[in-house]
Amino acid sequence: MTLSDTGTRVLAREQAAPAARRGSRLGPRSLVHPPGTGLALVLPAVLFVTVFVLAPLVFAVYISLTNWPLIGPYKFVGLANYESIVQDGAFWQSVVYTLTYTVIVTLPILVVGYLMAVVVRANRRGSTALRTIFFLPYVIGLSTLSFLLVLEAQPGSGAVNLLLKALHITGGETAWLVNGPLATGLICALVIWAVSGLTMVLLISGMQSIPRELYESAEIDGATWWGREFHVTIPLLRRTIGMSLILSVIGSFLAFSQFYILTQGGPGRATTPIVLYIYQRAFVQLQVGAATALSIVLIIVVALISAGQFWLLRERD
């Protein structure tokens, strides 16, 4: 070991000693790290991911081929769970509902997020504060916001009704949460309000990396503000826009908390998205085998959408 004679370096040798003992003899210029250190450092994380993600994934395939109840013995049923998906009207209802919800919120989230980004992208006075404000609801999270919305959606007393009454739009007695379409509308509004900030953050960094000269030359060419946005900003940001669209579509496909908290999926099944339906099948009706077959379908769909995300990221490099 190349060691000079200063005090600190002696100390360094003492600190290094245990590591050296564990490893093989080290030549004067060889690595100080004992062999296998890199692997040993990565192993705990790999172990966690294997035990709590990959093993359940494999296990899921197995469970989906059984009639697994939550309690008691099970037997193999082959592909019966998958075959019954076709006739599972309630499942398809939840698929249609999730798709409808996704279609309703995706574009507004992009547009609102884009507008927010336009407002705060230049470093003006107060733009940092505005960024914080726009992003705050996302940080607070949909579960907490849903609890707060529960009281504001009450007929006669909630702020939503108070506001609509003050604007002379309604009489202020709307029972938002017990009517399927109204509850869906309210939840969509909450989600757009809460998560557009994420799209904004993703877009800002993209916008700030666009060279200023491009805008200046567009301006010289006489382009209007709209022209510059459509011909400079949007084309250059298409990958970032694609990324944020994919993230919000995945988020919509996996939506759960806001529905569970605000409507419990009701009235009837009117506001039951896929994840809530699977949750009910598994933990209320205790049909774990059937529920897991549905989960496998969900995993495949979400994995395909995520693959698009990785493809976009690869393109960027």
Partner 1 sequence: MATTVERPAAPARPRRSAPSGRGGRGESSTKLTLYVLAAVLAVVVFVVPLIWAVLRAFQPNSVITAPAGLSALSKLGLGNFQGLTSEGHILRAVGNSLIVAVSTAILTTILATSAGYGLGRFRFRGSNVAFALILVTLMIPFQAILTPLFLELNAMNLTNSRLGLVLFYSTVNLPFGVFVMRTAFASVPGVLEEAARVDGAGTLRTFTHVLRPLVVPGMATTALYAFLAAWTEFLGALTFLTSENLYTLPVSLVNLQLGAYGEVNYGFLAAGAVIAMVPCVILFVALQRYYVEGMAAGGVKG
Binding mask 202-231 toward partner 1 (x if CB under 8 A, else -) reads: x--x--x---x--x----------------
Q: How far, in whole angstroms, is CA 159 from its chain's centroid?
A: 28
Residue 69 pairs with which residues in a beta bridge? 287
The torsion region of residue 267 among left (phi > 0), alpha (psi -120 to 50) and beta comes to beta
**# binding residues, partner 1 (CB under 8 A):** 113
- Does 265 help bind partner 1 (rule: CB under 8 A)? no
- Does 134 help bind partner 1 (rule: CB under 8 A)? yes
Of residues 70-99, those binding partner 1 (CB under 8 A):
none
Q: How far is CA 67 from CA 16, 60, 64, 76, 311, in A?
A: 56, 12, 8, 6, 37
CB of 248 to partner 1, least distance (A): 9
Of the candidate spans 47-55, 76-84, 85-93, 95-103, the one that interacts with partner 1 by CB under 8 A turns out to be 47-55
If the CB atoms of residues 54 and 96 are measured against partner 1, the closer one turns out to be 54
- Number of helical H runs and strand E runs in the chain: 16, 0
- Does 12 help bind partner 1 (rule: CB under 8 A)? yes
- Does 250 help bind partner 1 (rule: CB under 8 A)? yes
If the CB atoms of residues 90 and 299 are measured against partner 1, the closer one turns out to be 299
Binding mask 275-294 toward partner 1 (x if CB under 8 A, else -) reads: x--xx--xx----x--xx--
If the CB atoms of residues 63 and 104 are measured against partner 1, the closer one turns out to be 63
- Does 67 help bind partner 1 (rule: CB under 8 A)? no
Q: Which amino acid is at 231?
A: H
Q: Binding residue for partner 1 (CB under 8 A) from 121, 184, 245, 263?
A: 121
CB of 127 to partner 1, least distance (A): 8
Of residues 184-203, those binding partner 1 (CB under 8 A):
193, 201-202
Q: How far is CA 23 from CA 2, 18, 26, 34, 69, in A?
A: 17, 9, 8, 4, 50
- Does 238 help bind partner 1 (rule: CB under 8 A)? no
- Does 175 help bind partner 1 (rule: CB under 8 A)? no
- Does 65 help bind partner 1 (rule: CB under 8 A)? no
CA distance 82 to 79: 5
Q: Binding residue for partner 1 (CB under 8 A) from 9, 76, 96, 224?
A: 9
- Does 157 help bind partner 1 (rule: CB under 8 A)? yes
The angle formed by the CA atoms of residues 276, 261 and 116, to the nearest 5 degrees, is 95
Q: Binding residue for partner 1 (CB under 8 A) from 96, 103, 133, 234?
A: 133
CB burial readout 76-106, b (16+ within 10 A) else e: ebeeebbeebeebeebeebbebbeebbebbb
Considering only CA atoms, which of 258, 293, 267, 266 is closest in space to residue 278? 293
Is 190 in contact with 142 (CB distance < 8 Å)? yes
- Does 41 help bind partner 1 (rule: CB under 8 A)? yes
Q: Binding residue for partner 1 (CB under 8 A) from 150, 175, 189, 218?
A: 150
Q: What one-character DSSP code corresponds to residue 34?
A: P
- Does 49 help bind partner 1 (rule: CB under 8 A)? yes
Quote the tokens at residue 72: 């008691």
